[in-house]
């Protein structure tokens, strides 16, 4: 049973959105599909509305406290999301391809983010995943003990969320916010 969805919202048939944001309709359609299969309901992406509402020294969160991105009208990307690009490219690209777009080897995470919630994402990254079928064996390693991933998991999530939402394009974000004062200390504490 997956009714109603989070925050008391009621899934509305797609035609109610006539003339409005087409992507929103597509996401809704996807959400209804997932609902039938028992997965989480989503409006904008797997964690709901990605709008940034709270900042902890430059680290943004949505209204539910999930990590998210903040892109200024001039295209400046928040620092954590920018770090997410660099860490994604170092740790995830080797299988999932450049810019979250997938490869011959592993799925496009910018698409996965449209239905994975933050906790789904965190669980899969930390614990790994196996999808073994007759035709192929897909195995995502457990990164729970990998500091190069886990110290940056919120940044990587924000980056992929921004990719899923088309808020950040392909390649390195051209402009990013200055490094927050607390960033270095946080990274040092985690990396040890």
Partner 1 sequence: MKQSLSRTLAAGTILSSLLFTGSAGAQSAGDDLLKMEKNAANVVMPTNSYNNQRYSGLDQINTRNVGKLQVAWTFSTGVLRGHEGGPLVVGDTMYVHTPFPNSVFALDLNHEGRILWKYEPKQDPNVIPVMCCDTVNRGVAYGDGKIFLHQADTTLVALDAKTGAVVWSVKTDDPGKGATGTEAPMVIKDKVYVGVSGGEFGVRGWLAAYAIADGKEVWRAYSEGTDKDLLVDPQKTTALGKPIGADSSLKTWEGDQWKIGGGDTWGWYSYDPQLNLIYYGSGNPSTWNPKQRPGDNKWSMTIFARNPDTGEAKWVYQMTPHDEWDYDGVNEMILADQEMGGRMRQLLVHFDRNGFSYTLDRATGELLVAAKYDPAVNWATKVDMDKSSPNYGRPEVVAKYSTEHTGEDANTQGVCPAALGTKDEQPAAFSPETGLFYVPTNHVCMDYEPFRVSYTAGQPYVGATLSMFPAPGGNNMGNFIAWNARTGKIEWSDPEQFSVWSGALATKGGVVFYGTLEGYLKAVDAKTGKELYKFKTPSGIIGNVMTYEHGGKQYVAVLSGVGGWAGIGLAAGLTDPHAGLGAVGGYAALNNYTSLGGTLTVFALPPS
Residue 177 is a binding residue for partner 1 (CB under 8 A): no
Among 95, 123, 126, 183, binds partner 1 (CB under 8 A): 95
**CA 17/CA 183 separation, integer angstroms:** 41
Residue 12 near residue 35, CB atoms below 8 Å: no
Q: Mask of contacts with partner 1, 59-88, x by CB under 8 A? A: --------------------------xxx-
Residue 34 is a binding residue for partner 1 (CB under 8 A): no
For residue 136 the two structure tokens come to 């192929």
Distances (CA, A) of 89 to 23, 95, 111, 130, 178: 27, 10, 17, 22, 20
Residue 150 near residue 126, CB atoms below 8 Å: yes
| H and E: helices and strands count for the chain | 8, 4
Residue 26 is a binding residue for partner 1 (CB under 8 A): no
- Beta pairing class for 59-61 and 54-56: antiparallel
The residue count for binding partner 1 (CB under 8 A) is 41
Residue 123 is a binding residue for partner 1 (CB under 8 A): no
Residue 27, helix vs strand vs coil: helix
Among 13, 33, 65, 98, binds partner 1 (CB under 8 A): 98
**CA 40/CA 5 separation, integer angstroms:** 8
Residue 147 C-beta: closest distance to partner 1, Å: 5
Among 20, 37, 135, 189, binds partner 1 (CB under 8 A): 135
Q: Mask of contacts with partner 1, 140-159, x by CB under 8 A? A: xxxx-xxxxx----------
Q: Applying CB under 8 A, which part among 1-9, 21-29, 113-121, 164-172 lies near partner 1?
A: 164-172
What are the residues binding partner 1 (CB under 8 A)? Answer: 85-87, 89-91, 93-95, 97-99, 101-105, 108, 128, 130, 132, 135-143, 145-149, 169-172, 191-192
């Amino acid at each position: 049973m997956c009714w109603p969805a989070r925050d008391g919202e009621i899934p509305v048939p797609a035609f109610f959105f006539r003339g409005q944001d087409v992507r929103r309709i597509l996401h809704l359609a996807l959400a209804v599909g997932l609902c039938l299969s028992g997965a989480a309901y989503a409006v904008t992406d797997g964690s709901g509305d990605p709008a940034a509402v709270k900042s902890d020294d430059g680290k943004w969160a949505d209204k539910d406290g999930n990590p998210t991105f903040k892109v200024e009208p001039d295209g400046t990307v928040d620092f954590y999301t920018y770090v997410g690009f660099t860490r994604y490219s170092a740790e995830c690209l080797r299988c999932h391809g450049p810019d979250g777009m997938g490869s011959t080897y592993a799925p496009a995470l910018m698409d996965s983010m449209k239905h994975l919630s933050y906790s789904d994402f965190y669980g899969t990254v930390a614990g790994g995943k196996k999808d073994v079928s007759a035709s192929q064996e897909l195995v995502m390693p457990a990164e729970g003990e990998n500091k190069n991933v886990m110290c940056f998991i919120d940044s990587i999530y924000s980056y992929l969320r921004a990719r899923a939402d088309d808020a950040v394009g392909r390649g390195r974000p051209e402009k990013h916010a200055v490094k927050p004062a607390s960033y270095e200390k946080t990274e040092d504490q985690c990396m040890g």
